[in-house]
A and B are shown apart, each in its own frame.
Chain A
Amino acid sequence: MSRRQLILNALLLLAACALPLVVSDYRVFQFNLVLVYAIALLGLNLLTGYNGQISLGHGAFYAIGAYCAAILMDKYGVPYWATLPVAGAVCLLAGFLFGLPALRLEGLYLALATFALGVSLPALLKYHHLEKWTGGVQGIVIAKPDPPFGLPINSDQWLYYFTLAVAIVMFVLAWNLLRGRVGRALVAIRDNHIATEAMGVNNAMFKSLAFGVSAMYTGVAGALGAIAIQYVAPDSFNIFLSIVFLVGIVIGGLASISGAIYGALFIQFVPNIADDISKAAPWAIFGIFLLGFVYVMPMGIAGAVRMGLARLQRKAQNK
């Protein structure tokens, strides 16, 4: 990372840390959700943006992560922070397993298969044989974690810092992964999988791993989301959640880490603005934004920012 990027990131980090101290609890809660979505979108972007495998069902992994956290906390009294590794591991496995048959599916067909997963998941969550654990249609209510060591902050703020810490770790991990050999392999597979196969890259392994890691990220996000909302129910995890994630990465910027943050801000705050415009319109506005970005800004906000910065740099150089 260049020195300038490093400074920018440090400033951003500072701002993120200072945030809860200056805004109301309600805003802290909202930004907590932004961080949660950012992790989820990073997961989806890993798979779809960097590796080219389209997933319309990532809401399912978010749901699995959320239910892991809820079941562990409610039925087994596991402390909230310990549910994250478990949620991550379960989703890593689930994603990998789903990725195996998905290896044979290209583009639209993979989209279709993941779409089917996204549509059918709520019904699976309500399955009465699983009711003992999932709480069935009633869902599970979980308790809000208190700040540890008697720190002088309230639970909203504590949860925000906790989520922020997790987010930083996961973003750094992803950044490391993507700029190394693995990242290059993923992108190469996306752009020309025949060539990579011919070159000796193990396509199958990379693609399945991409699925697994992507699911793990989104699963951890789901767990964090469940802890923030304090409630999981099948109704929360329908196909529209998966579609919202897709909207997030397209608008935020595909194949971009910062895109996850832009996308998360978008999906968290735009529906509220849309609500003010028209009660029935939020989804129509999502749809129109989607179309707009696909035609006009296919690289998303991240891409636009990058181009904008590059242009400024060139102007400065030309002077």
Chain B
Amino acid sequence: MDALLHQVLAGLATGGIYASLALALVMIYQATHLVNFAQGELAMFATYFAWSLVNAGVPYWPAFLLTVIFAFVLGVVIERVIIRPVENAPVLAVVVVFIALLVILNSVTGWIFSYTIKTFPSPFPVEPIFGKYMSAHEAGAIGVTLVVLLLLYAFFRFTPLGLAMRAAAQNPDSARLVGIRVGWMLALGWGLAAAIGGIAGMMVAPIVYLDPNMMGGVLLYAFAAALVGGVDNPGGAVLGGFMVGVLENVLGAFVIGNELKLAVALVLIIGVLVVKPSGFFGKVFVTRV
């Protein structure tokens, strides 16, 4: 029993990692109705920026803030320069562009920073809490994710800008008719998603250590989390992240063995997409023909 509890708690800790990246994925989806394969690499790149700042002597929280701003700007620039030309192109072109971004970011980071792992500082105290089941950082990271989630929720629900963004994503033509600058809404969405990704990266790096392939393993689980929770529902995505983390740990430890953990993500993704594409908490969209 104790072992099970321990695995569940460890699962919540890793689930927190998936949840934070899933939030960024959902953010992009809500703003653009696109699934961004390069989100993980974007987050990793922003984290390296933070690492460079910290390495140069900048204290943690100012570096954190600067990184969030940097990531935001990077997201906006990517949307305007790289994504814009393929906005109205067939889906394949968009997918190809995402994949291109993924490989470029990954290889450039490796080239600049090399592939040896680096430590990334944590703003939280070092001693483990919750007995020895979860470190203070892991608990803190979950907390940060929840705070970001609340901020996002408030932004979309209660601010006119958030409403405009949702409108621009859902129905760009009508949104233009009421005066919304759709192009800038998309850029804003990308900026926010990149910023959230940067925060996710900075929370994840102290746990898994910083290297260019840091987000590679996480990405698939984050996708599963976003799909399970509903790809247009931030709260669902976070919940999905925890579910995926716990499921993966418990199944891996007690049922199927550690070798098939990635297969769990595969099954989840395909299962959700085929059986309940809107996820557990998402809205169902019906397209009229």
Chain A residues engaging chain B, CB cutoff 8 angstroms = 48, 52, 54, 56, 101, 104-105, 107-109, 111-113, 115-117, 119-120, 123-124, 126-128, 194, 243, 246, 250, 254, 278, 280-284, 286-288, 290-291, 294-295, 298
Q: Using CB atoms, name the residue of chain A closest to B101.
A: A287
CB distance from B80 to the nearest CB of A (A): 14
- Complex Cα distance A269/B80, Å? 33
Contact of A116 among B90, B91, B99, B265 (CB under 8 A): B265
- Complex Cα distance A108/B39, Å? 14
Given the interface pairs A52-B92, A127-B260, A246-B96, the reply to whether A108 lies near B223 with Cβ below 8 Å is no
Does B150 belong to the interface (CB within 8 Å)? no
Residues of chain A within 8 A of B263, CB atoms compared:
120, 123-124
User: Are A123 and B260 interface neighbours, CB within 8 A?
Assistant: yes
Residues of chain A within 8 A of B262, CB atoms compared:
119-120, 123
CB distance from B193 to the nearest CB of A (A): 15
Residues of chain A within 8 A of B35, CB atoms compared:
108-109, 111-112
- Complex Cα distance A56/B91, Å? 13
- Complex Cα distance A286/B259, Å? 31
Given the interface pairs A54-B91, A123-B263, A294-B97, the reply to whether A112 lies near B104 with Cβ below 8 Å is no
Q: Using CB atoms, name the residue of chain A closest to B256.
A: A127
- Complex Cα distance A105/B34, Å? 14
Q: Using CB atoms, name the residue of chain B closest to A286.
A: B103
Among listed B16-24, B58-66, B269-277, interface-contacting one = B269-277
Q: Summarize A's interface: helix, strand, loop or mixed.
A: helix
Does B286 belong to the interface (CB within 8 Å)? no
User: Are A243 and B103 interface neighbours, CB within 8 A?
Assistant: yes
CB distance from A221 to the nearest CB of B (A): 21
Does B100 belong to the interface (CB within 8 Å)? yes
- Complex Cα distance A221/B277, Å? 33
User: Are A294 and B96 interface neighbours, CB within 8 A?
Assistant: yes
Residues of chain B within 8 A of A295, CB atoms compared:
85-86
29 A-B contact pairs sorted by A residue (CB < 8 Å): A54-B91, A54-B92, A101-B270, A105-B277, A107-B91, A108-B35, A108-B94, A108-B95, A112-B227, A113-B270, A115-B220, A116-B220, A116-B270, A120-B262, A123-B263, A127-B259, A254-B92, A283-B103, A283-B106, A284-B103, A284-B104, A284-B111, A287-B101, A287-B103, A290-B99, A294-B86, A294-B97, A294-B100, A295-B86
CB distance from A136 to the nearest CB of B (A): 10
Given the interface pairs A104-B277, A113-B273, the reply to whether A287 lies near B100 with Cβ below 8 Å is yes
